[in-house]
Amino acid sequence: MQITKKTIDQVDIRGKRVIIRVDFNVPLNDALQITDDSRIRAVIPTINHVVDEGAGVILCSHLGRPHGTVCPELSLAPVAKRLKRLLGKDVTFASDCTGPGVRNLASQLKPGDVLLLENLRFHPGEEANDVQFASDLASLGDVFINEAFGTAHRSHASTVGITKFVKTSAAGYLMKREVEYLEGAVENPVRPLVAILGGAKVSGKIGVIENLGKKVDKVIIGGGMAFTFLKAAGLGIGRSLIENAMLEFANGIQAHALERGVKFYLPVDCVVAASLDPGAETKIVPIQEIPEDWYGMDIGPASVKLFSLAVQNAKTILWNGPMGMFERDAFARGTQAMAHAVADAYALTVVGGGATALAVHDAGETENMSFISTGGGAALTLLEGASLPGLAALPDR
């Protein structure tokens, strides 16, 4: 499925200054070291293309949620160091993203030079999509390329507002791949199409469940959201996560899926914990036997076997959301087992970003997936069949 928006290949960038909105919102440890640089690596082909065309590169991104104030611990300085290593060339780091100093650095760019601006969200104008802030950003270059799929579902100055002030805008290689993989997997899949949906809450994925429910051949439900479906089916779930407001919706979704001949899978056993403390006692129980005061934390081994068999004959697999609280080793086995099962399936495998991408990385299966989205919220928006503001703002082909 081809993207309908103008892409970087259709734009003349030779000798120009190219502003690239990237998503360098990478995880940092307490020592402010990058723990996963996959989002940086994902846009290296686009940066290299612009450099090879003899253009100057101006990179802008956010990191974390500073809410319009300067937070030194959310500086993009560590990213500049990693980027220099990955590109194998010097990267100039600006101490701000607007102002006379930044304009001076941008004006001095020579063909092939790379400039990284400081965190956009240090300015309140970024998230407010402020006209002046967008205009200031646009004044730094001649061409705008949006590669920040992870923020494409936000109407911010650097994703939407800036397009009104530059003559030429287009999608980058990563944005193109994200849209083509995610939309293609839903709109024109090789069947059977299996959707694996997990994570904490049903309410966060209503649109995805409704949209995919009309198009998939099988639905597998795991994670915290599974307990809402189990409670809706009349089972006792102890003190597991529950959204009482979603019970009727869960029943309706399952009924509609079965009416359409869609196979609907829920866990048959789970790992439960006596409390939420890290050292609490755990055990594996059938879904019907969750103790009254215990918490469901992960799918159990029988569920892993059931779900793994369900994906074996798939030709397209969409996975969004972990199977349990995978951040804790005691509850990571279900998610890791599913990562191995999905990777081993002879299918096009599309992983919907965020926590799922991290779980796949932890399982050592990143290289064995067809495509891993760099955007959690943006991926969900596309899978709902909704429009992305950052994509909609770009001109059509």
Calculate the CA dihedral of residues 88, 89, 95, 100 and round it to 10 degrees: -150
> Do 191 and 197 contact (CB within 8 A), yes or no?
no
Are 226 and 265 spatial neighbours (Cβ–Cβ below 8 Å)?
no
How many other C-beta atoms can be found within 10 angstroms of the C-beta atom of residue 88?
A: 7
Strands of the sheet containing 269-273, edge to edge, are 282-286, 269-273, 295-299
DSSP state of 28: B
The string of DSSP letters for 42-98 reads: TTHHHHHHHHHTT-EEEEE---S--TTS--GGG-SHHHHHHHHHHHTS--EE-S-SS
> Is 234 annotated in the active site?
no
User: Does the annotation mark 260 as catalytic?
Assistant: no
* H or E segment and range at residue 40: helix 38-41
Q: Please identify which of the residues 16, 17, 39, 154 carries the catalytic annotation.
A: 39
The H-or-E segment that residue 320 falls in is: strand 316-320
DSSP 345: S
d(CA 385, CA 294): 37
Please confirm, yes or no, whether 377 is among the known catalytic residues. yes
201, 215, 263, 315: which is the annotated catalytic residue?
Answer: 201
* Active-site annotation holder among 64, 112, 377, 385: 377
Cis peptide before 192 (omega within 30 of 0): yes
Q: What is the DSSP string of 122-189?
A: GSHHHHTT-HHHHHHHHTT-SEEEE--GGGTTS--TTTTGGGGT-SEEEE-HHHHHHHHHHHHHHHSP
Catalytic one among 213, 352, 354, 390? 354
CA distances from 191 to 5, 185, 316, 344 (A): 27, 10, 6, 17
Nearest to 324 by CA among 224, 237, 205, 221: 224
CA distance linking residue 343 with residue 355, whole number of Å: 17
Known active-site residue 154: no
Active site residues: 39, 201, 354, 377
